[in-house]
Amino acid sequence: IFFRKTKMAAAFNSSFSSGFGVGGTSASPPTSSLAGGLSGYNASGGANSFGSTSYSNSTTASSIAKFGNGASSFAGASSMSPPTGAAGVAGVTSGEWDLSNTKQITNEDAESMPKFEVTRAADGSLTKAAEILNKLGDSWPHKFAICHSAKVNSYYLMAKVSQPLSLSDAREDYRKFDKSNGAKAIKTRNKEERQKNPLERQLQKTLVGQKNAILSVSGQIRRKENGWHSSNHPLVFLFLGSSGIGKTELAKQVANYIHGDNAEGFIRIDMTEYQNQHEVSKFIGAPPGYAGYDDGGQLTKRLRRCPNAVVLFDEVEKAHPDILTCLLQTFDEGRLTDGKGELVECMDATFVMTSNLGQREIADEAVRVRAQMKDSQDPDAIEPIQDSFKDKVIQPLLKHHFKRDEFIGRINEILFFLPFTHEQLKALARADLTKWKETAYDRHKISITWDNDVEELMVKAYNLRFGVRSIQHEVERKVVSKLAQAHENDHIGNGTQVKLACNPNIPGEISMYKVDTSKADK
């Protein structure tokens, strides 16, 4: 026992002496507080009493107090059973993250390194950071972490206890950081990277039309990346529009922009699977003693693995009201409580809900806006949706459906996905034909060209209910399957040039002509 207490004293000692840097004050602790920490060995909160007596009204009080708490659970856990109910790093063994090796650094120092954004600072933000780091385990491969505390709006450098704290070590450590290795870790793109590859450009490369939505989303994401957003709530979008016009695709592309090919950066939840009240447990995990307890919730489990994921709630209007209550808590507080009663932090997540609500009204509005823009020659012009349309048509519709004003109030931006114009549909047909042209060449060395009226024919298949997929299916049915058959029968093959055209005798059919290259070669 004596030996353990000695170790404890050492732990508290080092924690306290550097712990003050954490809180951002320079006062040194009165010696009596150490005794407080020691006597609090068995009952968590000894260190706590120090914080609350000496610093009860300062802004740093709660972080110091919690820090004390965390330290006591930390030390306690390494030598005896973990304390119950402690908010600190319970269950942590030595050599892991705590707050004993932490110092404040400048914004410039923090800018270029991957960070934790500990924006949820309700109970001592840096304690939280240590907790998260410990939970991440190997997916945070550094010995160092840069943590941002929204509470005091400052950056801190944190190191594992056995490491000496030095900024140059941290830089070196991060330099060795292998992207694939650290993909799961919370990463923010640095400024240079953002300027080189603006989100708008990436989105416009993959999506036809939907310029309003692309620009709004990019603007919001940029504000967040640059720190021009409210740090009290996560970012929440509602994408409205008919099926198959790019809502899911846009969310996916945003995830791709933020997380690259890390699959955990995109969480898609089909809300049609959550239409009944009992499905809440599938969402956030079942409470202890219930079936499925060990599985965890679809949302909470995945958010824990990637707290700044892009989370898509598809067809949100289908969800049960109790699920919406979960969502509201999440959107409002930036965290949610799972079935086990544990908090899942998600202040840095980007939430996207999609819905078909109002699709008819939006289509009508698009017709009206486009009629007004007729004079404009610019095919790329933004199609401005009036605020009055949002206020008078969409808001009442959403209120009627969701019944709850506060739910709608927590949405940062409602974005409208407009039906495609004829030109946009042709661009979509062209993009799909081009995709197959590339496949044909890469796999079979077959070259393909086509007439303008082939694109027109594909556009005719467009069906509002299925969106872009109806064009993709038409291309497969009328073009790709024919090519495949001709290839199978050796009519075309390596080196063949094929021209596609509308069949003059059978309306709606495509004909293939083999271009004779032998003359050209000679």
Partnered with residue 157 across adjacent β-strands are: 103, 146
- Strand segments, DSSP code E, in 214-316 are 235-240, 266-270, 310-314
Residue 494 zone, left/alpha/beta (φ > 0; ψ -120 to 50; rest): beta
- 166 is a contact residue toward Mg ion (CB under 5 A): no
Cα torsion at 58, 64, 66, 68 (round to 10°)? Answer: -140
- 356 is a contact residue toward Mg ion (CB under 5 A): no
Q: Can you spell out the DSSP letters for 403-449?
A: --HHHHHT-SEEEEPPPPPHHHHHHHHHHHHHHHHHHHHHHH--EEE
Asked whether the beta carbons of 145 and 116 are under 8 A apart, the reply is yes
Give the x/- contact pattern for ligand ADP in 452-491, rule: CB under 6 A.
---------------xxx----------------------
Give the x/- contact pattern for ligand ADP in 360-379, rule: CB under 6 A.
--------------------
- 355 is a contact residue toward ligand ADP (CB under 6 A): no
- 246 is a contact residue toward ligand ADP (CB under 6 A): yes
Using CA atoms, how far apart are residues 19 and 102, in angstroms rounded to an integer?
7
- Applying CB under 6 A, among 147, 152, 245, 353 the residue interacting with ligand ADP is 245
**Residues in 195-224 that interact with ligand ADP by CB under 6 A:** 207-210
- 243 is a contact residue toward ligand ADP (CB under 6 A): yes
**Residues in 241-270 that interact with Mg ion by CB under 5 A:** 247-248
For 266, how many CA atoms within 13 A lie in the half-sphere containing its CB? 19
Which of 298/472 has CB closer to ligand ADP?
Answer: 472
Which of 54/356 has CB closer to Mg ion?
Answer: 356
- 249 is a contact residue toward ligand ADP (CB under 6 A): yes
Using CA atoms, how far apart are residues 209 and 215, in angstroms rounded to an integer?
11
Which of 153/272 has CB closer to Mg ion?
Answer: 272
Least distance CB 126 / ligand ADP (angstroms): 40
Tokens coding 364: 């009508």
Query: From the list Mg ion, ligand ADP, none, which binds 163 (C-beta under 5 to 8 Å, kind-based)?
Result: none
**Residues in 414-433 that interact with ligand ADP by CB under 6 A:** 428
Give the x/- contact pattern for ligand ADP in 31-70, rule: CB under 6 A.
----------------------------------------
Which of 245/492 has CB closer to ligand ADP?
Answer: 245
Please work out the total of residues on this chain that contact Mg ion, with binding judged by CB under 5 A. 2
- Applying CB under 6 A, among 139, 202, 248, 449 the residue interacting with ligand ADP is 248
- Applying CB under 6 A, among 160, 247, 304, 426 the residue interacting with ligand ADP is 247
**Residues in 369-398 that interact with Mg ion by CB under 5 A:** none
- 279 is a contact residue toward ligand ADP (CB under 6 A): no
Which of 248/511 has CB closer to Mg ion?
Answer: 248
Q: Can you spell out the DSSP letters for 100-160?
A: SSEEEE-HHHHHTS-EEEE---TT-HHHHHHHHHHHHGGGS--SEEEEEETTTTEEEEEE-
Q: 309: closest CA among 250, 260, 345, 350? A: 350
First to last CA, the chain: 96
Asked whether the beta carbons of 241 and 250 are under 8 A apart, the reply is no
Using CA atoms, how far apart are residues 185 and 254, in angstroms rounded to an integer?
17
Which of 111/249 has CB closer to ligand ADP?
Answer: 249
- Find the angle CA(173)-CA(174)-CA(180) to the nearest 5 degrees: 115
Tokens coding 94: 């030595």
Partnered with residue 450 across adjacent β-strands are: 500
Query: From the list ligand ADP, Mg ion, none, which binds 29 (C-beta under 5 to 8 Å, kind-based)?
Result: none
In the bound complex, which residue of the shown chain has the CB atom lying closest to Mg ion? 248
Query: From the list Mg ion, ligand ADP, none, which binds 102 (C-beta under 5 to 8 Å, kind-based)?
Result: none
> What are the residues binding ligand ADP (CB under 6 A)?
207-210, 243-249, 354, 428, 467-469
